[in-house]
Chain A
């Protein structure tokens, strides 16, 4: 099972990204299962929230929050701290939206804010980080992410968010080739 923990603030769309990823993963025929859920409780704009996506090739019985993930994705680097590493599996990776360049090899840094400003004209990075994840994680395609956006986001958001995941995936692929 691959377990992903999303970190964001209320209103940044972390759970939307978690849900789109689960929908995208399960799109390809049988033997693909996903659960997606937010950290439960009162919702407040701006407050730290987490969301979870679990992906597997068999039905997933464990509905509890992920304690140690394969990936931690931070939409906002003000939420990132040293404690993030204790929430990772040994081979786990952190995808961090930041303008800084963290030295730790477990951290993959993306300047999502700049991409979001260019593509979305808004400081919202959920689909930017989703596109980045699609480029890094072998078992999902950008086409599946795009299809999930078409099926599960309101129509008026399709164009910009498809552009966002595509731009992010291209950027991540370019970085990886360097």
Chain B
């Protein structure tokens, strides 16, 4: 391994180089652009053997990746925000077709008002499209996810596309020291992609076909099972990963000081770093607080969440998302998990970081302070704008 000082985007690109996709379809959009720029440089300098196809839109980027996947090639693309929404039609094609494409999404606000900064409304609006969704916290996890994503997506019992999410700017454009594995290590971890789900002259078959009312539910059920199977594949990938690279990941969730915590903050993405520091600071003051980080939103870790918070007096979900007219989508999902497990502690929702708004340590401490009141609230953090 070599240590390199990289941004989240660059770390992800290093992970993709190690995963050796045979086709990369690229259409740039801030704050994702650096990923495809770096990959184009790697193809140019020969350190990555791949067909780099510069397409004319995001719709074409994902369509192109599907075409590649349909002949059995390992395919990569990346997008963000409006680009992801422009791809929306193709998202369900890729998942329904069971094409294990990996896509990096740089989480960014969606228009209007126009805004290029980070929040998670883009990917969370696409939770139902049948893709695996993971959220990285830092640059090292971004690189490691890039490698693991193919293992999980291409797992024969999964065969489902994988969306790896990196918070725009605060993760994609922030530089940190990252361990970059050697190609030999990566090859030992990630087997070549093999599938029967491809166009093959020796074994002709029909892909991407119609299925009427009689058969449709069966296909959708199998698609659902494939996504659920990703949990097992994640565990398998991580067990293999720690053996080769020495870094241990914890499945769909990460528990931090939750075991004896009265009050637990549930969140996802790069804000977990600050939340962890806040937990440490409050613990020093004798507060029994903890952090539950959702590393994956699909498959949804409902049982893990219930298990982690079952002794808590109250929980809060902090998310960079709002489902207008209701509440944060992560919160809705978490509450469903609590209800199924028969848990009835107060659960609150904090909506922050929209359009790149900073979430401060003071605000996170405020959430823990609110939790002690053991009431239910749905609240926006730092609405601002009054003086504009």
Are B174 and A26 touching (Cβ within 8 A)? no
Q: Which residues 256-292 in B have Cβ within 8 Å of A in the complex? A: 270, 272-277
State the Cβ distance, B64 to closest chain A Cβ, in Å. 29
| B182 contacts the other chain (CB 8 A) | no
Chain A contacts for B170, CB-based, 8 A:
37, 63-64
Chain B contacts for A37, CB-based, 8 A:
169-170, 173-175
Instruction: Count residues on chain A whose CB falls below 8 Å from chain B CBs.
Output: 24
| B360 contacts the other chain (CB 8 A) | yes
Chain A 41-76 against B: per-residue CB contact (8 Å), 1 yes, 0 no?
A: 110000000000000000111111100000000000
Are A63 and B173 touching (Cβ within 8 A)? no
Which of B173, B270, B274, B275 is in CB contact (< 8 Å) with A40? B173
Are A22 and B356 touching (Cβ within 8 A)? no
Decide if the interface of chain B is mainly helix, strand, loop or mixed: mixed
Are B274 and A62 touching (Cβ within 8 A)? yes
| B49 contacts the other chain (CB 8 A) | no
| B361 contacts the other chain (CB 8 A) | yes
Task: Name which of B177, B277, B356 has the most chain A CB atoms within 10 A of its CB.
Answer: B177
Chain A contacts for B169, CB-based, 8 A:
37, 40
Chain B contacts for A26, CB-based, 8 A:
3, 5, 177
Chain A contacts for B116, CB-based, 8 A:
41-42
State the Cβ distance, A163 to closest chain B Cβ, in Å. 22
Q: Which residues 29-87 in B have Cβ within 8 Å of A in the complex? A: 31
| A35 contacts the other chain (CB 8 A) | yes
| B236 contacts the other chain (CB 8 A) | no
| B375 contacts the other chain (CB 8 A) | no
Are A34 and B356 touching (Cβ within 8 A)? no
CA distance A38 to B49 in the complex (A): 32
CA distance A19 to B5 in the complex (A): 8
Which of A62, A65, A151 is in CB contact (< 8 Å) with B361? A62
State the Cβ distance, A36 to closest chain B Cβ, in Å. 4
Chain A contacts for B177, CB-based, 8 A:
23, 26, 33-34
What bracket does the count of chain B residues touching chain A fall in?
A: 20 to 34
| Nearest residue, chain B, Cβ from A40 | B169
Are B5 and A23 touching (Cβ within 8 A)? yes
Are B274 and A64 touching (Cβ within 8 A)? yes
State the Cβ distance, B135 to closest chain A Cβ, in Å. 14
Which of B5, B274, B360 is in CB contact (< 8 Å) with A152? B5
Known: A23-B5, A152-B5. A63 touches B175 (CB 8 A): no
| Nearest residue, chain B, Cβ from A24 | B5
| B333 contacts the other chain (CB 8 A) | no
| Nearest residue, chain B, Cβ from A18 | B175
CA distance A22 to B4 in the complex (A): 11
CA distance A33 to B174 in the complex (A): 13
CA distance A42 to B31 in the complex (A): 11
Which of B3, B31, B270, B276 is in CB contact (< 8 Å) with A63? B270
Chain A contacts for B356, CB-based, 8 A:
40
State the Cβ distance, A154 to closest chain B Cβ, in Å. 12
Chain B contacts for A33, CB-based, 8 A:
176-177
Are A62 and B273 touching (Cβ within 8 A)? yes
| B336 contacts the other chain (CB 8 A) | no
Task: Name which of B116, B171, B173, B175 has the most chain A CB atoms within 10 A of its CB.
Answer: B175
State the Cβ distance, A16 to closest chain B Cβ, in Å. 11
Are A61 and B360 touching (Cβ within 8 A)? no
Q: Which residues 319-369 in B have Cβ within 8 Å of A in the complex? A: 356, 358-361
Known: A61-B277, A63-B170. A19 touches B358 (CB 8 A): no
Chain A to chain B contacts (Cβ below 8 Å), 26 pairs: A19-B5, A19-B175, A22-B175, A23-B5, A27-B3, A33-B176, A33-B177, A34-B5, A34-B175, A35-B174, A35-B176, A36-B5, A37-B175, A38-B173, A40-B169, A40-B173, A41-B117, A42-B116, A60-B273, A61-B277, A62-B273, A62-B274, A63-B170, A64-B359, A148-B5, A152-B5
Instruction: List B residues at the A interface (Cβ < 8 Å).
Output: 3, 5, 31, 116-117, 169-171, 173-177, 270, 272-277, 356, 358-361
